Amino acid sequence: MKFMKELTKAEKIKKVESYRWIVWSILAIMYIFVTFHRMAPGVVKNDLQEAFNVGVAQFANIGSMYFYAYFIMQIPSGILADKLGPKKTVFIFSLLAAVGSVAFGMAPNISVAYISRFAVGIGVSVIFICLIKIQSRWFYSRNFALMIGFVGLAANLGAVIAQTPLVIAVSHFGWRSTFVYMGVAMLLFAILALIFVKDDPKDVGLPGMDELENRPQVSVDINVIDALKSVIGNKRTWVISLPYIGLYTGYVILFGTYGISFIMQAYGISKIAAANYIIFAIVGSAVSGLVIGYLSDKFKNRKIPLILCSLITLLGWILFIIFKVPQSLLAPFLFVFGFVMTGFTMCWTVGNEVNDRNLSGVATGVVNCIGFLGAAVVPVVMGKIIDANKALPEVGYRKAFMVLIVIVCVGALASFFTKETRGENIYKG
C-alpha cells in the first residue's frame, strides 16, 4: 500500500491498465466454461438420450434445467455483483458449478441429471454479470461495447469447445468423464479468481475509473428493492429485452440444442461434419462481437446495428429452415448467420446505458433474465413438436423452428423502438 502511494498518478494509471487484464482474463476464461456447459447438450444429445432412455422433449429438459437456473439467478446475480462484489460471488458460486458438473458426469438416472444440470446453471449464472461489473470498474466507458465484444469472443471459444472438440473428447473419454474433468478445471479457476481478482482498482490502492473519467462516484450501498423498482420500472429495459429474446434464443438453439441434429437430419451428414458446420457460425459470432462493438463505439450508434442484425437474422432463419440453404453454401451462410445473430451483445450495452450507472449488475441481470426465459422454454416446446412428428422428423423440425421464427420476428419489430444512447448513459432518474 505504501509502495502504491509513492507512485505518480501516471504510473498508477499504467498499473490499472495492465493489471485489469489479469482480472478480466481470469473471469473471461471462466466464462468459457459457462458457454461450454450451455452448448454441450446439443453435441451429446444422442448419448444422453441413450444413457437415460429419454425422448427429445426430455432431452430438451436436461438442457433447459441450466436455463431455468440461469433465469432464476439473473436478478440475484446482479444484486450480488453490486453488493457482495464480483470476486466473492464468482468464487462461491463456481464451487457449486464444479460440483454440479462432476455430479452430471456421474448421474445414474435422469432425475440426478436434472438436479446436477440445475446446480451447474445456478453456479455459472453469476459469472457473466460479474464480468460486466468488473469491466465497468476497471475499463473506460468509451470502450464498453468493444469489451462486450471481447466477452462475446470468450463465449464463442466455449461454444467452439462444445462442438467438434467435445465430439472428439467424448469419443476418447466418454461423455461422463469429460464433464467430470470440466468440473475439476472449474474448481482450479475458482481458486485463481479468489487469489487474483479485485473488485475495483481502489482495492489495491489504485485510482478507480470514477476518478480517472471524472464521473459520479458509484455507490455500493444499494437498496435492493429500490434498485429492482428502478430497473424493472424502466420501460426502456423491457423494450431492449425483446430483441434479446429473439436473437439469443436463436443463438442457443442453433449452437447448443438443435443446430447439429437439424443439420444432420436435413443434409444427411455425420455428427462431426454437422459440428464442423456449426463452428463456421461460431467463428462468425466471435468476429461479430468485436466488429459490432468497435463500430458501435466508434460511430456512437447502438440502434442501427441492432436493427440490421435483427432483420438479417430473421431472414437467415427463414432461408435456413423454410427454403433450406444448399449444402455448398452452408459454410459461408452460417458464418454470416452467426455474425448477425450476435447482435444481441448490443442489448447488454443498451441495457446498461438506459439505467442508473450504479445498477449495472441489476440492469444486466434483468435483461438476461427476460432473455433466458425464452432460451429455457422455447427448446422444450420445440422438443414436444419434434416428438409429436417422429414419423416425419424433417417435418417435425420445420414445424418446431416456426415457433422460433415467430419469436425472432417479434424481437426484430421491437428493435425499431429501442432508444439510441449515442454511447452514453442517458438515465435521468
38-68 pLDDT, tens digit each: 888 888 888 999 999 988 888 888 888 998 8
**pLDDT attached to residue 249:** 94
DSSP H helical ranges for 300-392 = 303-317, 327-341, 345-353, 360-388
Name the average pLDDT for the chain.
Answer: 89
Q: What is the pLDDT of residues 185-233, one digit of tens each?
A: 999 999 999 999 999 898 888 888 778 877 666 655 677 788 889 999 9
What string of H, E and C letters represents the secondary structure of 32-50? HHHHHHHHHHHHCHHHHHH
Query: Taking 90 as the threshold, does the pLDDT of residue 118 lie above it?
Result: yes
Nearest to 78 by CA among 419, 366, 340: 366
CA dihedral (46, 52, 57, 63) in degrees, to 10, reads -80
Backbone dihedral region of 274: left (phi > 0), alpha (psi from -120 to 50 degrees) or beta? Answer: alpha
What confidence tier does 182 reach under pLDDT thresholds 50, 70, 90?
A: very high
pLDDT given at position 81: 85
For 398, the grid coordinates are 420445420
List, for residues 256-266, the tens digit of each pLDDT value: 788 999 999 99
Residue 69 has pLDDT above 70, yes or no: yes
Q: Assess whether pLDDT exceeds 70 at residue 94.
A: yes
Give residue 220's pLDDT.
58
Cα–Cα–Cα angle for 65, 51, 178, nearest 5°?
75
State how far the alpha carbon of 377 is from the alpha carbons of 140, 149, 190, 399, 414, in Å. 37, 27, 30, 16, 20
pLDDT of residue 429: 63
Q: For residues 127 and 33, what is the distance between their CA atoms, to the nearest angstrom?
A: 10
Q: What is the pTM (predicted TM-score) of this model?
A: 0.78
Looking at residue 428, its pLDDT comes to 81
pLDDT tens for each residue of 158-172: 888 888 899 899 999
Give the three cell numbers for residue 412: 426484430
DSSP letter for 112, please.
H
Nearest to 30 by CA among 163, 147, 186: 186
pLDDT at 56: 84
The domain limits of the chain are 15-194+230-415
The rounded percent of the chain whose pLDDT value lies above 90 is 52
- pLDDT tens digits for range 354-389: 998 878 778 888 888 888 888 888 998 999 999 899
| Chain centroid offset of residue 135 CA | 16
Fold of 15-194+230-415: Growth Hormone; Chain: A; (1.20.1250)
C-alpha Rg value of the chain to the nearest Å: 21
pLDDT of residue 357: 80
* Residue 297, all three cell numbers: 463505439
| Mean pLDDT of the region 125-147 | 84
Please write down the HEC assignment for all residues of 194-239.
Answer: HHHCCCCHHHHCCCCHHHHCCCCCCCCCCCHHHHHHHHHCCHHHHH
Q: What is the pLDDT of residue 218?
A: 61
Per-residue pLDDT, 80: 87
> pLDDT band at 155, cuts 50/70/90?
confident
**87: confidence class by pLDDT, cuts 50, 70, 90:** very high
**CB of 245 closer than 8 Å to CB of 313:** no
Q: Give the residue-averaged pLDDT of 87-115.
A: 95
Is the model's pLDDT at 180 over the cut of 90? yes
Half-sphere exposure of 266 (CA within 13 A, CB side): 22
Residue 251 reports pLDDT greater than 80:
yes
What pLDDT, on a 0 to 100 scale, did the predictor assign at position 2? 47
> Given this model, what pLDDT does residue 133 score?
87
Lowest mean pLDDT among 101-105, 295-299, 315-319, 360-364: 360-364
The model's pLDDT over 310-339, given as tens digits with 9 standing for 90+, comes to: 999 999 999 999 999 999 999 999 999 999
pLDDT at residue 36 greater than cutoff 80: yes
Structure-block grid coordinates of residue 245:
429474446
Rank 103-112, 127-136, 218-227, 369-378 by mean pLDDT and report only the highest.
103-112
